[in-house]
Amino acid sequence: MSTALIVLAAGKGTRMDSDLPKVLHRIGHAPMLWHAMRAGQALAPERCVVVAGHHAEMVEAAAAEHDPEALTVRQTEQLGTAHAVAQARAALDGFDGDAIVLYGDTPFIREETLEAMCAARATQDVVVLGFEAADPGRYGRLVTEGDSLERIVEFKDATEAERAITLCNSGVVAAKADLLFDLIDAVGNDNAAGEYYLTDIVGIARSRGLSAGVVRCDEAETLGVNSRAELAAAEAAFQARARAELMENGVTLLAPETLFVAWDTAIGRDTVVEPNVVIGPRVTVESGALIKSFCYLEDAHVSRGVQMGPFARLRPGAELAENVRVGNFVEIKNAQIHEGAKVNHLTYVGDADVGKGTNIGAGVITCNYDGVSKHRTVIGERVFVGAGSLLVAPVSVGDEAMTATGSVVTKDVPEGALAIARAAQDNKPGFARKLMSMLRARKAAAQAKKTKNV
């Protein structure tokens, strides 16, 4: 049976107190919406429909960025969850398969859970995802009889006996698409909130002699985000899960609670990550690397056997080949550092290629920006770039060449050549004492004038 996703993402999220739509607030450097979409995409859906509302154009752009084939529709009035799902009807016209309703502010539903719901559809007309709540609070309650789900009752409409039920509604629903919309057509708004509840479709289905069942999941999967405090809790939950998965897959974390990763971080086994490391989006670290303390990486690739840090930064486009060494207070941006090269101290390498076995000395800068455009520096293999050298791009340094310490290199350096590009030193006897005496006198006069004016 083919599957379609309907992701509800129309809410404003008033409690977030934000100009940003709730579903676009980030967890693991990615909008919550992306997390929900990714979970559903494990089912290889034939269609994915995102229902936007508040700041719809922003939500639509985010959905398209994650999945260019996603369809978007708008809920212009906020009349409840059933009304929101109904907006996807036209987008699923002609679709003959199951539809699963997900929520853009519920980012932790697992792929395995959705697969279980699809499997349950073989015997149930409507399948609802439920969970046993430690504190049921104001969740909707699932009223069951044996293995059958009879109805869902919203907390505000529940009796005292129904409120005592601990099996709660996650909101996630699966049904054949045409049946889902048929049931929604029968939903009314005669309730405490005057809204069209998607939950009412269970009672309607049962009244027609159709079957309904529950798939249970861990409560942590159903965590919804409605406030900044809940967003922080969701981020903590995401990081805890991500760290656990890394360690299960053979990564050594010396202080797991101090590592922060992105939703798409990939780290190979036998890599060691020291304390206080932050990894942004689009980062891959291959096996056997060593990431020392206080490093920051984003949009970068780190190959096998690399050692970097402490206090190193990889910016977008950084590519470190095998066995590269990147040391303390080094920043690399849009640059390829080839096998065995070393960039060990206090250096900026931007818009550059650094060849195999090359050594970049302390305090070296590739001067890549002229105030208008970026330019590239190309450094060959087995080059020695002397400490304090400034390489003014566009410029190239040939294989096995050298630059003298403190050189400002503005012309290409041929293969095997030594470039010396610094002004001749001129020592002026006694001038330092005279200069300091003059400066101290000037400072004393200024202080005296200030005291007199007071």
Catalytic positions: 345
- Distance of alpha carbon 40 from alpha carbon 424, whole angstroms: 67
Phi-psi region of 48 (alpha: psi -120 to 50; beta: other; left: phi over 0): beta
- CA nearest neighbour of 329 among 350, 343, 318: 343
Question: How long is the chain?
Answer: 454
Contacts 24+ apart (CB under 8 A), 64-68: 66/31, 66/33, 66/34, 66/37, 66/38, 67/37, 67/41
Neighbours of 108 (CB within 10 A): 22
- Distance of alpha carbon 127 from alpha carbon 121, whole angstroms: 6
Residue 149 CB-density burial (10 A; 0-12 exposed, 13-18 middle, 19+ buried):
buried
- Chain centre distance of CA 229: 19
Beta bridge partners of 253: 273
